[in-house]
């Protein structure tokens, strides 16, 4: 299914577009004891920024997946230049082509909210090893959203719903992720610093207008919508 906001990120080739940006990614992963023999799945890998960091920092076995073909193309280009041994492929988090218990660590940075949340979480739980971990950075309602605010945000980002932190935890539990903790981070939905960009040629003006609309929305709704970082496991 087409999503214009995800088209924006793909055509501009923005790395670290998720809340908190790449600096948040590095700060979270530096606290993980990832071993070279461990298998890591980067879901919604975008341009491959996080996958590249994982290989450089931990020399682990990384598989990177995105459902946008332009993102996959740009991720492959980045990792080819690095000569990084990362498997990059197009795929759908709602229907993963992996056997059960495949990965020691799964990372999803502002990905699940753009899908059928419950279906995606069940798939991630399925492919996660029993002693593995899922780390998610996801948009979160900071307080009750009026129907108008909910509708405006959903229309802007092409999503179905915005969950608060308790609703996220409930969905994770329902997916079989019985142990859920929140990693302490600033929760405000602030503009991520954009210093990693690989734009396509001939970007349509509509995408520039959408980017401006996104910036205005964040500026005026920082008290209503933020993000949380969840770390989960099955046992």
Interval 142-159: pLDDT, tens = 998 899 999 999 999 999
Paired with 188 in beta bridges are 226
Which residues does 25 contact at the CB level (< 8 Å), separation at least 6?
A: 16, 18, 49, 50, 53, 109, 137
Residue 107's CB is within 10 A of a number of other CB atoms, namely: 26
What is the structure's pLDDT at 195? 66
Q: Judge whether residue 191 has pLDDT over 50.
A: no
- Residue-level pLDDT at 2: 62
Say which CATH number the domain at 187 has. 3.40.50.150
Q: Annotate 144-154 with b (16+ C-beta within 10 A) or e (fewer).
A: ebeeebbeebe
* pLDDT band with cut points at 50, 70 and 90 for residue 193: low
134 and 231 Cβ atoms separated by less than 8 Å = yes
Task: Please give the average per-residue pLDDT across 53-67, as a whole number.
Answer: 96
Looking at residues 36-63, what average pLDDT do you find?
96
Q: Residue 197's pLDDT is what? A: 76
Give the predicted TM-score (pTM) of the model.
0.91
What pLDDT score does 68 carry? Answer: 94
Average pLDDT over residues 20-40: 91
Number of domains in the chain: 1
In angstroms, the CA 7 to CA 152 distance is: 18
Q: State which residues form the domain around 51.
A: 4-233
């Amino acid at each position: 299914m087409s999503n214009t906001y995800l088209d924006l990120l793909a055509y501009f080739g923005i790395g670290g577009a998720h809340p908190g940006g790449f600096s948040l990614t590095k700060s979270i992963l530096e606290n993980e004891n990832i071993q070279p023999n461990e298998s890591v799945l980067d879901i919604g890998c975008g341009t491959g920024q996080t996958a590249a960091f994982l290989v450089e920092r931990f020399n682990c076995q990384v598989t990177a997946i995105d459902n946008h073909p332009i993102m996959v193309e740009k991720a492959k280009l980045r990792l080819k230049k690095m000569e990084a041994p990362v498997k990059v492929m197009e795929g759908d988090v709602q229907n993963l082509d992996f056997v059960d218990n495949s990965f020691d660590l799964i990372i999803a940075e502002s990905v699940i909210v753009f899908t059928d949340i419950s279906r995606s979480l069940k798939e991630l739980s399925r492919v996660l090893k029993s002693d593995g971990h899922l780390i998610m950075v996801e948009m979160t309602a900071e307080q009750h959203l009026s129907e108008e605010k909910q509708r405006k945000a959903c229309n802007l980002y092409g999503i179905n719903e915005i969950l608060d932190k308790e609703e996220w935890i409930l969905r994770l539990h329902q997916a079989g992720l019985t142990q859920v903790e929140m990693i302490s981070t600033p929760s405000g939905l602030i503009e991520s610093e954009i210093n990693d960009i690989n734009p396509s040629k001939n970007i349509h003006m509509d995408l520039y207008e959408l980017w401006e609309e996104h910036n205005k929305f964040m500026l005026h709704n920082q008290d209503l919508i933020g993000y949380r970082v969840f770390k989960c496991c099955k046992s």
